[in-house]
Amino acid sequence: MSAHRARKPDLPIRRAGSEDVAGILALEQLFPGDRMSARTVRRLLQSATARVWVADSPPADARIAGSVVLFLRRNSRWGRIYSLVVAPHARGHGLGARLVACAEREARANACAGVSLEVRADNEVARSLYRSLGYLEHALLPAYYDDGAPGVRLRRHFVGTEQ
């Protein structure tokens, strides 16, 4: 038996719809705090400035494997990843990077200079993912989260765009 984990097939990623609210909320329960409410998710799905994608688990598993929310703010050349969650059963197979790539493609298509995001300072797994994707530390955010935990703002500037 190989020491390497078997690669799971790439899970399909699609734009989220109203039928995905419960699945997105289930993923939100994986966060230690600052979770989105059902009302917030429904509002994001209708918003002209938010994009939400989900990755479906295999058909035998009704759960959503991951989601990402991107904000395209008016009067800003920066897209903002508001939320990225990958379910434990889908981790370690590149899904987080694929979800970030969806957000980045949309940001580029909307003439953004790059993407920014905030992450808990103690979330080393997420920080490692973002580092591997070219995100750099932009600012430390003391007591940023509801529970008082510090955050870190990360940014990835797209090559060939003005800052």
Contact 50, 163 (CB under 8 A): no
Distance CA 69, CA 30 (A): 15
For residues 6-16, average pLDDT: 78
Distance CA 55, CA 11 (A): 6
Per-residue pLDDT reduced to its tens digit, 48-103: 999 999 999 876 566 899 999 999 988 899 999 999 999 998 989 899 999 999 99
What are 66's strand-pairing partners? 55, 86
Contact 65, 95 (CB under 8 A): yes
Per-residue pLDDT reduced to its tens digit, 22-56: 999 999 888 776 788 999 999 999 999 999 999 99
Query: For 36, what's the count of Cα atoms within 13 Å in the CB-facing half-sphere?
Result: 24
pTM of the model: 0.89
Position 62 scores a pLDDT of 66
Distance CA 43, CA 144 (A): 23
> DSSP letters of the chain?
--SSPPPPPPPPEEE--GGGHHHHHHHHTTSSS-PPPHHHHHHHHH-SSEEEEEEEPPTT--SEEEEEEEEE-TT-SEEEEEEEEE-GGGTTSSHHHHHHHHHHHHHHHTT-SEEEEEEETT-HHHHHHHHHTT-EEEEEETT-STTS--EEEEEEEPTTS--
Instruction: Quickly tell me which residue has 């598993």 as its tokens.
Output: 61
Q: Is the pLDDT of residue 2 over 70?
A: no
